[in-house]
Amino acid sequence: MRTRIKICGITNPEDASVVVDAGADGIGLMFYKRSSRFVSIQQAIAIAEKVPPLVDLVGVFVDPLEEEVIAVLERAPLSILQFHGSESVEFCEGFGKPYIKVMRMSDQIDPQVESSTHPKAGAFLLDTFNPDAHGGTGETFEWSRARVNLASPIILAGGLTAENVGTALSVSNAWGVDTSSGVEKTPGVKDREKIVAFCRAVREWDRNNHDNAAERTSH
């Protein structure tokens, strides 16, 4: 089984095309206005035109209002929602879309307990905890904490780069990986060579660790 790859924080069609050509499975669009990678609905529509079928367009939200999510869904062809805040299970399930729930891995977080609060989540994304930011910090956490068996797949995030993603996968055995700052020139501006190198490093890990990859739960 191959590792799924999501590149988050895409802000323009050109970077989206690079991500698609590099072989990533998903593109993350930030609809959180406090993020340096925030995109408007108009930007999202332009980016979506560069995203072919079978590549997921993931809308990332942080404690949004219901009407904010609906406004995006009415115009942008998102295939998956990602909730990065303290959204309730009722809220996450209220839009008729598959969703990813983020766990910010503070010392107090137990993935087994947290996952039980959102039993229908399509996946859980485990990211580094930072009290001042919701992702995109370039900081890692202890990857062994992601090596747990949950009912839904685990996506590993937080400071992943082409140089460390292989080690991160060996330690965590995560189903998928997500990076943003690790493939950037500056916040919101991606680096083509870093994107290509990141995807290549993941595929190389898959080839070299076929037995481990086959053990991961497929959903």
| Catalytic residue chosen out of the listed positions 8, 15, 92, 199 | 8
Residue 199 annotated in active site: no
Pairing of strands 4-7, 176-179: parallel
**What is the phi/psi pair of residue 155, to 5°?**
-110, 125
- 127 catalytic, yes or no? yes
User: DSSP per residue over 52-66, as a string?
Assistant: -TTSEEEEEESS--H
Which of 15, 25, 92, 127 is catalytic? The answer is: 127
DSSP state of 50: T
Q: b/e map of 34-73 (b: 16 or more CB within 10 Å)?
A: ebbbbbeeebbeebbebbeeebbbbbbbbebeeeebeebb
Quote the strand ranges of 62-158, DSSP E: 80-83, 99-105, 123-128, 154-156
Confirm if 165 and 146 have CB atoms less than 8 A apart. Answer: no
Q: Which residues pair with 127 in a beta bridge?
A: 104
Residue 119 neighbours by CB distance under 10 Å: 10
**Active-site annotation, residues:** 8, 127
